[in-house]
Structure 1
Amino acid sequence: MAIGRPARPRRRLERTKLTRTAFLRAPALVAAVLLPLVGSGALEGSHAWLPSVKQDVAQVASTVATGVNGLVRNAADAADPGRRKAVHLESGAARTSARLADASPADRADVLAAAAASGPLQRPYVLKAFAAGHSADEVVRFASLIRGKKPTWLRTHLSLVDADRHSLVTYHAALVRQVDNTTCGSTAILMSRAIVDPIYALYLTTGGTDDPMAARNGPFEARLAAEEERIHDSTNSLWPKKFGTTPSGVSAELNRNAKTLGTRYQARLVEHGRSQPLRDAVAAARYSQPVPVLIGDWLPRHYVLLIGASRGDLLFYEPTAATLVRLDVQDFLAGKVKALGFPHVQAVITPSR
């Protein structure tokens, strides 16, 4: 997906080697022009405590008593103490603890009871849903819906990305990919939410119901396409949809879901010789916070989603082919991302304060 189709340059620009070289050496220059155009994006579960799980509930509740984890500062701070801002990073466990600590005693009891009653395989999904900002009532209904489900069902319906098992991102036989060549940014936003919010993922895969007909491939693909188009409409109130989505449009839409994602986001250009935005993206991925990445050649072209990091590798979701691509972290920090389809990183949309 091209973020914008390059207009035919003026003749004098074609004849000016120096200007052309500047574009080739600093491809983010074009993105710098596009970013300001849209500004900030104007453009029935049981509540009873089950004896067999009282110990588990006590262990979960104890996380509240130990206090809420603070923001974890970027590891790059140690190497660069003069940084002006740290990336807003918080682990999933810290987010769960924070939400439990902030909840009313009644809501906390309901959520912990629902998590305990749902079963050991289902419990992490229940707590993750609460951490994603859902109300206690929504979490209790969700826990009831998934209680007793098998591991394969849970993975298929609540985790669209299964990096340990597949290199393709699929729901049954359906590819989880962009609906057309302008919605890669929309799909990156959609996947960012689906990764952190199992209730949202369940809506996409089943419509949020237990109707087996709604969980078939056809209805899933229809919901996926409709949601991508809804997001595209939201991000492109001013910028033409045929040109894709600007970085500021992506960050604005992510910030509309800041409660779910656990952080706000900011669009940051990646300029030659300045690797801090890329380092911040890697740090966020290490805390399982998704990061949309805009790549291209001398123009911005396509969004991919950085979804994880392990040792020396980074894991990306590529929405055109619905594939998972691994990239050496040092290559990414050097801005070398040809394996993702284009040679350069133009911008990253990273967590912010």
Structure 2
Amino acid sequence: MLVSLAGYGISPQSPPIVVHQDQVSAASPATRAEERLDAMSTADRDRVQATLAAAGRDERPYVVEVVAAGHSAAEVASFARLISGKRPRWLQTHLDLLDPDGSGWVAYRSSPVQQPDDTSCGPMTILMARAISDPFYSLYLTTGDTTDRADAGAEQFQARLTAEEHRIHAETNRFWPQSLGSTPLGMSNELNRYAAALGTRYQARPADGSTLSDAAEAAGNGQPVPVLIGDWIPRHYILLIGRAGGDLIYYEPGYATVGHISEQDFVQGKIDVIGFHRIFAVVRPH
């Protein structure tokens, strides 16, 4: 029997923090958090439940997401301590790198969440996929996991962002030149290192009708999906991050923006993002 989070005002049907209210995830953070709690030792479970009970109303959903991401009881307690007493605006700024309304420029304190060079779009979509799935990871990027305000500035954030992108790029391109970008297989291998936080494993697939439909459905369920687009050759990755009405929401790392594309057009293989019109592959949950 799974441990219930209902006593903390959070149900398994509760939507993720940065997902529109019309989205229903088959594996919501609350559901995965209950599964994590059920698998813990009695001591760790008691510690996490005490941490949840002590968390403020605005803090608690983020703590649940950290539990869902597979962090240890000690890490959950550390995260809760770092965000304790913070105002909703602070929580949104430091833990939600994407604007919850699903449109506009993506930045932290006017510092763009943007790929640092022409070949790092893939690693940046992986970074963003992790950031929207694991608030503790976002907190590291924005603050360095400290309470020192000097570590939470835009310059420090950009340094951590660039260093993390370089680390991810080295992992995705172990057997492929970085100057040629990241392959879908390299992307899926790196994403699968964080399967616990993402709540799923990933598989690289060429774009066809069923694959694109699966990718759209996954994005609609709040699961981030990297998509390789281009013209006559593959050129660029974007990240599907959700659904709004009849549109899919995507993060574009080249210009650090969030935009919308027609879900119907996407499933039919039609796309128009920064001048690219062809979908080559997706790295989708499976």
* Matching residue of 1:59: 7
Q: Residue 331 of structure 1 aligns to which amino acid in structure 2?
A: D
Q: Residue 307 of structure 1 aligns to which amino acid in structure 2?
A: I
* Matching residue of 2:196: 259
**Is the Cα contact below 8 Å between 1:295 and 1:346 reproduced in 2?**
yes
Structure 1 residues 241 and 287: alpha-carbon distance in aligned structure 2, compared to 1, 3 A threshold? same
Say which SS state the counterpart of residue 303 (structure 1) adopts. strand
Q: Residue 349 of structure 1 aligns to which amino acid in structure 2?
A: V
Say which SS state the counterpart of residue 209 (structure 1) adopts. coil
Alignment of 1:1-353 (within 5 A): 59-60=7-8, 90-164=27-101, 167-270=104-207, 274-352=208-286
Give, in angstroms, the shift of residue 231 of structure 1.
Answer: 0.4
Structure 1 residues 204 and 330: alpha-carbon distance in aligned structure 2, compared to 1, 3 A threshold? same
**Is the Cα contact below 8 Å between 2:69 and 2:196 reproduced in 1?**
yes
After the TM superposition, which of the residue ranges 244-253 and 277-286 deviates more from structure 2?
A: 277-286
Query: Relative contact order: is structure 1 or structure 2 higher (C-alpha 8 Å, sep ≥ 6)?
Result: 1
**Is the Cα contact below 8 Å between 2:102 and 2:259 reproduced in 1?**
no
After the TM superposition, which of the residue ranges 135-144 and 335-344 deviates more from structure 2?
A: 335-344
**Is the Cα contact below 8 Å between 1:337 and 1:344 reproduced in 2?**
yes
**Is the Cα contact below 8 Å between 2:63 and 2:79 reproduced in 1?**
yes
**Is the Cα contact below 8 Å between 1:186 and 1:228 reproduced in 2?**
yes
Give, in angstroms, the shift of residue 176 of structure 1.
Answer: 0.4
Q: Residue 110 of structure 2 aligns to which amino acid in structure 1?
A: A
- Off by >3 Å, runs of 4+ in structure 1: 60-64
Write the deviation string for residues 249-305 of structure 1: whole angstroms up to 9, x where unpaired.
Answer: 0000001111111111000001xxx31111111111122110000001121000000
**Is the Cα contact below 8 Å between 1:118 and 1:146 reproduced in 2?**
no
How many equivalent residue pairs? 271
Structure 1 residues 248 and 58: alpha-carbon distance in aligned structure 2, compared to 1, 3 A threshold? closer
Write the deviation string for residues 25-70 of structure 1: whole angstroms up to 9, x where unpaired.
Answer: xxxxxxxxxxxxxxxxxxxxxxxxxxxxxxx976149969xxxxxx
**Is the Cα contact below 8 Å between 1:61 and 1:112 reproduced in 2?**
no
Compute the TM-score of the two structures, normalised by the length of structure 1: 0.74
Write the deviation string for residues 174-212 of structure 1: whole angstroms up to 9, x where unpaired.
Answer: 000001001000000000000000000000001111111
**Is the Cα contact below 8 Å between 1:89 and 1:351 reproduced in 2?**
no
Q: Supply the distance in 1 between the matched residues of 2:131 and 2:68 (Cα, whole angstroms).
A: 13
Structure 1 residues 229 and 100: alpha-carbon distance in aligned structure 2, compared to 1, 3 A threshold? same
Q: Supply the distance in 2 between the matched residues of 1:248 and 1:165 (Cα, whole angstroms).
A: 28
Q: Supply the distance in 1 between the matched residues of 2:67 and 2:164 (Cα, whole angstroms).
A: 22
Task: Give aligned-pair identity as a percent.
Answer: 52
After the TM superposition, which of the residue ranges 158-167 and 194-203 deviates more from structure 2?
A: 158-167
Q: Which runs of 5+ in 2 are unaligned?
A: 13-24
Structure 1 residues 89 and 344: alpha-carbon distance in aligned structure 2, compared to 1, 3 A threshold? farther
Give, in angstroms, the shift of residue 90 of structure 1.
Answer: 2.2
Give, in angstroms, the shift of residue 112 of structure 1.
Answer: 1.7
Write the deviation string for residues 141-178 of structure 1: whole angstroms up to 9, x where unpaired.
Answer: 11011011001100010110013175110101100000
* Structure with greater Cα Rg: 1
Structure 1 residues 89 and 243: alpha-carbon distance in aligned structure 2, compared to 1, 3 A threshold? farther
Q: Supply the distance in 2 between the matched residues of 1:304 and 1:90 (Cα, whole angstroms).
A: 23
Q: Residue 120 of structure 1 aligns to which amino acid in structure 2?
A: R
Q: Residue 280 of structure 2 aligns to which amino acid in structure 1?
A: Q
Give, in angstroms, the shift of residue 342 of structure 1.
Answer: 0.6
